[in-house]
């Protein structure tokens, strides 16, 4: 079965290469959608350099090596938008599901939410000529609130197929409960399609950002997440979970889409009544109403 998966991935990259001069946009779409499916994932992060004022008391993040099984579900597929939901399969018997991050890819998108700091994003618009032929990757938190986004062109050359972008983001989940000495992660992201799946490579800056002051570089880190394709049947439990829960997450996305459609800056409360947004949404039953969902999200959005 492993060899069959490998051959399928080779066929994809060969197809991308053979068509690279005939339809660049179709190559882009093929590359993006190839990230869907069932994957064994290796998450690797290491803090590489640090620049603290007090090097004697500074504690760098521990090197991280973790493995997981993850299902990437295609949830929207149109000519200008591809949306994919990541679902982690965890637990001793790999039968528990954690709704993970979501990534949307928009073609020639001109509206952006740029992360500032402290759960604040600033809306901006860019001329269409500046994003011609580009794809915006919009990444969302586990509760579908904003995280980070950036626009770049997919590159298909010499047998390589990748997308590269630099943008500001909140602290990652692996850090935000452990670190409070920086508040912005400048992410240099590379998504590259490989013969056996895909790789998410990162070279990140950990920044201290204060209003009307120059950013201070505290440390840097290397990330290398390897997604190895395995048979879709290995992720059956995640596929079944999504069938049972996709309706409620559609309602949650619909509410967030109405917030994003206002094209205004977004500032969120960290907690409401001592509870985080993701915990309140995760506690909802699959049959929760749109009104119930709207009320929860509205309580976290700070009115300007």
Instruction: Tell me phi and psi for residue 292, to 5 degrees.
Output: -65, -40
Structure tokens belonging to residue 93: 């018997």
Q: What is the β-pairing status of strands 197-208 and 216-230?
A: antiparallel
pLDDT score of 14 more than 90 = no
Q: Predicted confidence band at 20 (pLDDT cuts at 50, 70, 90)?
A: very low
Strand 266-267's sheet: what is its strand order? 111-115, 120-125, 266-267
Beta-carbon contacts of 210 under 8 Å, excluding residues fewer than 6 positions away, are none
Condensed to tens digits (0 to 9), the pLDDT of residues 49-106 reads: 999 999 899 999 999 999 999 999 999 999 899 999 999 999 877 789 999 999 999 9
The reported pTM is 0.92
**Residue (of 189, 185, 187, 244) closest to 218 by Cα position:** 185
Q: Predicted confidence band at 15 (pLDDT cuts at 50, 70, 90)?
A: low
Signed CA dihedral, 8, 12, 13, 19: sign only: positive
How far apart are alpha carbons 209 and 214 in whole angstroms?
7
């Amino acid at each position: 079965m492993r060899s069959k998966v490998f051959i399928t991935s080779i066929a994809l990259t060969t197809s991308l290469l053979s068509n690279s001069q005939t339809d660049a946009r179709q190559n882009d779409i093929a590359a993006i959608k190839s990230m869907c499916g069932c994957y064994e994932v290796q998450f690797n992060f290491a803090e590489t350099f640090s620049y603290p004022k007090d090097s004697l008391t500074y504690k760098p993040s521990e090197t991280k090596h973790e493995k997981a099984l993850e299902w990437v579900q295609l949830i929207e597929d149109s000519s200008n938008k591809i949306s994919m939901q990541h679902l982690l399969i965890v637990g001793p018997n790999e039968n528990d599901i954690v709704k993970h991050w979501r990534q949307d890819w928009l073609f020639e998108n001109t509206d952006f939410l740029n992360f500032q700091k402290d759960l604040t994003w600033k809306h901006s618009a860019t001329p269409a000529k500046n994003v011609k032929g580009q794809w915006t990757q919009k990444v969302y938190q586990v509760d579908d609130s904003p995280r980070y986004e950036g626009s770049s062109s997919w590159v298909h050359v010499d047998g390589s197929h990748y997308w590269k972008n630099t943008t500001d983001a909140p602290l990652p989940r692996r850090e935000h409960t452990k670190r409070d000495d920086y508040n912005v992660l400048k992410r240099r992201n590379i998504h590259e399609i490989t013969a056996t799946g895909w790789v998410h490579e990162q070279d990140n800056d950990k920044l201290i950002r204060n209003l009307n002051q120059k950013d201070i570089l505290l440390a840097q880190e290397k990330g290398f997440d390897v997604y190895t394709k395995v048979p879709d049947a290995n992720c059956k439990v995640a596929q079944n979970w999504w069938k049972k829960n996709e309706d409620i997450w559609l309602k949650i996305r619909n509410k967030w889409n109405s917030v994003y459609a206002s094209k205004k800056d977004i500032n969120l409360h960290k907690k409401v009544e001592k509870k985080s947004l993701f915990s309140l949404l995760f506690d909802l039953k699959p049959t929760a109403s749109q009104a119930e969902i709207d009320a929860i999200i509205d309580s976290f959005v700070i009115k300007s």
